[in-house]
Structure 1
Amino acid sequence: MPGIVIIGVQWGDEGKGKATDLLGDRTDWVVKFNGGNNAGHTVVIGDEKYALHLLPSGILSPGVTPVIGNGVVVDPEVLFAELEALRARGVDTSKLRVSANAHLITQYHRTLDKVTERFLGKRQIGTTGRGIGPAYADKINRVGIRVQDLFDENILRQKVEGALDQKNHLLVKVFNRRAITVDEIVDELLSYAARLAPLVDDTGLLLSDALDAGDVVVFEGGQATMLDVDHGTYPFVTSSSATAGGASTGSGIGPNRLDRIVGIVKAYTTRVGAGPFPTELFDDDGDTLRSRGFEFGTTTGRPRRVGWYDAPITRYATRINGITDLVLTKLDILSGFDRIPVCVAYDVGGRRFDEVPVNQTDFHHATPVYEYFPGWKQDISGARHFDDLPTRAQEYVLALERMSGTRISVIGVGPARDAVVVRHDLLD
């Protein structure tokens, strides 16, 4: 089964990079298919910690070819800064391939992202301000700049002129900012052309050929299901398809080539930015989860909002994505709690919802219906087999599995690369 999709189940930051790294030497290709540098993966290898924002985490595995797919929006400055930082630490980045059809983030995208968010006031979405949303908006409006445009200066200039015709009116007349000149954008983008050229390829064709040859290709999603532009908590979402369907559209590979869908879910829940969050905690338990789990954004450094595990969300993600396996991360963070609540349903004005309400207003006003499980005190970071876990930890995992609609195949018990319990092989 060579085509494997790895996606987040909750609102992101579940530990998708760790799952990709777990497949490691059995993986031939790792593809980032959505998002930009608005999210990050933290991967720990030995004593080294790597924070990646735009690059696929597979770039850290020798022998793997990392790919930035057409569904990604690329900030060239960030791309080359990350590559240079990895090279300085001895990481081989020479195999990276970038889709010619990926869209570029420019100065005006970053500017519009920041001023628009401030303009929203109390209605702010919680954007990272890195230009991702405006770049995707240009893509849909058919005024975007693609990677391949850097290699034809005349086309590039025409496209930048078309994009700035409207945007400068908006910047000057609505947001009271200076106009951006065509020359400054064209000059900046052209400065990256020579360095980008060796990396650019028809990545859809490369991946199709790889699958035909029997290679193992991992499609690594940014953000997560509840941030998907169609299926998430809209409008408090990202601007791309963060679900399994996005792996096909964002890479140029047909959905019949995707054999296994692996969902990554924390043993509790976190999110960054605004929007509904039924199990959110504002008490000492929340502070404990945040500090123990080091719940601060890889990209922004913002403290994450934290809450207990939400079983209806996991069932929803399982259905939306067709998840075949779950990787449950950060189980070790729950060690020490006397009891552990799990949200099994919602109460909305006295009405019980066993599934995620389709109406956003209902979900915004939902309060969790909890089932309580006894906690455990033991340090579980050394566990490598399911039987190594305390009985209560095993019972907690099995209860989540029953509620989630699919099997829990891997359990994360610590930040180290090998701190996992494997119940089922993700390639089996």
Structure 2
Amino acid sequence: MTNVVVIGSQWGDEGKGKIVDWLSERADVIVRFQGGHNAGHTLVVDGVSYKLALLPSGLVRGKLSVIGNGVVVDPHHFVAEVEKLRAQGVAVTPDVLRIAENAPLILSLHRDLDAMREDAASNSGTKIGTTRRGIGPAYEDKVGRRAIRVGDLAEPETLPAKIDRLLTHHNALRRGMGVDEISFDALHDELSSVAEHVLPYIDQVWRLLDEQRKAGARILFEGAQGALLDNDHGTYPFVTSSNTVAGQAAAGSGLGPTALGYVLGITKAYTTRVGEGPFPCELHDEIGQHLSTVGREVGVNTGRPRRCGWFDAVLVRQTVKTSGITGIALTKLDVLDGLDELKICVGYTLDGKEIDYLPASQAAQARVEPIYITLEGWKESTVGARKWADLPAQAIKYVRQVEELIGAPVALLSTSPEREDTILVTDPFEG
């Protein structure tokens, strides 16, 4: 048995929710290790849809679920999401949910700053396309060593000094933006109003996970955004504010890297992205509209439409290397049903020269042009296929071509949002 890290191999929205839910039945512990409530997961279980943003997907299965120190936690959203799940009949108690005591908090001042910056950038044409939920500013305060963390709520006597330190920074920014300052009392009241709802769940997550590992538990690490939004290895500056590659599972949970085993890269059979930034294979034609409509490409939490394009093997191949992906879970193959022909990007041209990678330079990323190969499509439906024999020959050929181009095998193939509509090739927990 081995522990499994699940990440998105593209720009997110690859269908991680279903795959994590599918794997969670085989796991004992599910861990979120980065991000905040800016990335949604939709689970469909027995016809019931569960929409999660901050809480680990394993809660729906009643598995021990952990929010690691690499996550930034909006306490108000946490309370609301817990109540939403409870209303759907899911038991959410400290017996099944823990939060790392050293996870930073997202506060209203972070959301304010996020929105003000996006508005200003929008007016100047330089916006990043954030969800305005305070994720970036909260991470800034973390690395700036002024964050208020979950565990601080248990020590109210230490809060005044921490509030003063945080407000010294944020009120200076607000003055510069011509916005009213935040009072000490307002922030103190905000923290006090949620403390009793959050404190029952806090724990020394690093110790808990070590104990679980030594006891032989199967641990599933659940990433939020895709690897191409990684703060170091993504399309910077159009990225998220945390590391999203597989290595972050160790740093964001407190469990050492030797405990990480199989890395499963969730990979959509075409490419989508939300927000601003380069997208070499983006389609603005009827095929792009087809992918958007049939794939229902709208953000779970934000409602933002996703940009759509052909499968980009260059990007996924790069993620296979930067995250050490062992195998992929290929999702939404059924969206390609009925197309006469399919294209796959196998390289780029940059200023007349062929390259086999996405350059780090923002300017170069904007100039690359895709090089495509064309494959024959298929007319038969792949929806609900649960074994290879159910797939059209051309669909199998497409999958095999993807495997060859990215340098990683398909471990799972998803053919609909329903968790049982999955073809298992390799069980990640068995290595």
Question: Normalising TM by the smaller chain, what interval?
Answer: over 0.9
Q: Does residue 1:321 correspond to 2:320, yes or no?
A: no
Tell me the equivalent position of 1:24. 24
**For 1:223, what is the secondary structure of its paired residue?**
strand
Q: Is 1:327–1:411's contact at 8 Å kept on the other side of the alignment? A: yes
Q: In structure 2, what is the Cα distance between the partners aligned to 1:185 and 1:48?
A: 38
TM-score of the pair, normalised by structure 2: 0.97
Provide the rounded CA distance (Å) in 1 between the counterparts of 2:380 and 2:348: 31
**Stretch of structure 1 that moved more, 361-370 or 216-225:** 361-370
CA shift, 1:169, in A, is: 2.1
Q: Give TM-score scaled by structure 1 length.
A: 0.98
1:2–1:214 contact (8 Å) kept in structure 2: no
Q: What is the 5 A alignment of 1:93-172?
A: 93-94=92-93, 95-120=96-121, 121-172=124-175
Deviation at 1:177, TM superposition (A): 1.2
Q: State the 1:112 CA deviation.
A: 0.4
Instruction: Show structure 2 runs of 5+ residues with no match.
Output: none
Give the letter for the 1:102 counterpart. A
Distance 1:39 1:25 in 2: 22
Q: Is the Cα contact below 8 Å between 2:268 and 2:332 reproduced in 1?
A: yes
Once residues 384 and 221 of structure 2 are traced to their aligned partners in structure 1, the CA distance between those partners, rounded to angstroms, is: 29
SS in 1 for 2:172: helix
Which string of whole-angstrom CA distances, capped at 9 and with x for unpartnered residues, describes residues 113-138 of structure 1?
Answer: 00011112311000100000000000
Conserved 8 A contact 1:409-1:424: yes
Structure 1 match to 2:314: 312
Q: Which amino acid is 1:75 matched to? A: D
What SS does structure 2 have at the residue aligned with 1:263?
Answer: strand
Structure 2 match to 1:236: 238
Q: Kindly indicate whether the alpha-carbon contact (under 8 Å) linking 1:227 and 1:233 is maintained by their aligned counterparts in 2.
A: yes
Equivalent-residue separation in structure 2 for 1:285 and 1:116 (angstroms): 34
CA contact (8 A) 1:346 1:366 kept: yes
Counterparts of 1:207 and 1:154, CA distance in 2: 30
Shift of 1:71: 0.4
C-alpha displacement of 1:154: 2.6
Q: Could you tell me how far apart the structure 2 residues matched to 1:298 and 1:31 are?
A: 20
Alpha-carbon distance, 1:2 to partner: 3.3
User: Residue 70 of structure 2 corresponds to which residue in structure 1?
Assistant: 71
Amino acid of the structure 2 residue aligned with 1:71: G
Q: Is the 8 A contact 2:6 2:20 kept in 1?
A: yes
- SS in structure 2 opposite 1:222? strand
Segment drifting more, 418-427 vs 304-313: 418-427
CA distance, structure 2, for counterparts of residue 46 and residue 115 of structure 1:
42
1:211 corresponding residue in structure 2: 213
Give 2:99's aligned amino acid. Answer: V
Change (3 A) 1:359 1:166: closer
Q: 1:26 Cα deviation (Å)?
A: 1.4
Deviation at 1:359, TM superposition (A): 3.1
In 2, the alpha carbon distance for the partners of 1:41 and 1:156 equals: 34
Say whether the 8 Å CA contact 1:278–1:368 is kept in structure 2.
yes
Q: Deviations over 1:302-351 (max 9, x none)?
A: 00111110001111000001100100000000001000000000111211
String of CA shifts for 1:272-309, please: whole Å, max 9, x gaps. Answer: 11110000011111111001111011111000111110
AA paired with 1:163? L
Report how far residue 203 of structure 1 moved: 0.8
Equivalent in the alignment of 2:343: 341
Aligned length: 426
Q: Could you tell me whether the CA contact under 8 Å between 2:235 and 2:360 is conserved in 1?
A: no
RMSD between aligned residues: 1.0
Structure 2 counterpart of 1:203, one-letter code: V
Tell me if the contact between 2:269 and 2:330 (Cα under 8 Å) persists in the aligned partners: yes
Map of 1:80 onto structure 2 = 79
Query: Unaligned regions of 5+ residues in structure 1, if any?
Result: none
Equivalent positions of 1:187-206 (< 5 A) are 187-206=189-208
Q: Is the 8 A contact 1:386 1:423 kept in 2?
A: no
The structure 1 segments of at least 4 consecutive aligned residues displaced by more than 3 Å after TM superposition are: none
Whether the aligned pair in 1 keeps the contact of 2:218 and 2:429 (CA below 8 Å) is no
The CA deviation at 1:245 is 1.0
Q: Distance in 2 between matches of 1:423 and 1:259?
A: 17
SS at match of 2:371: strand
Secondary structure, aligned partner of 2:225 = coil
CA contact (8 A) 2:36 2:74 kept: yes
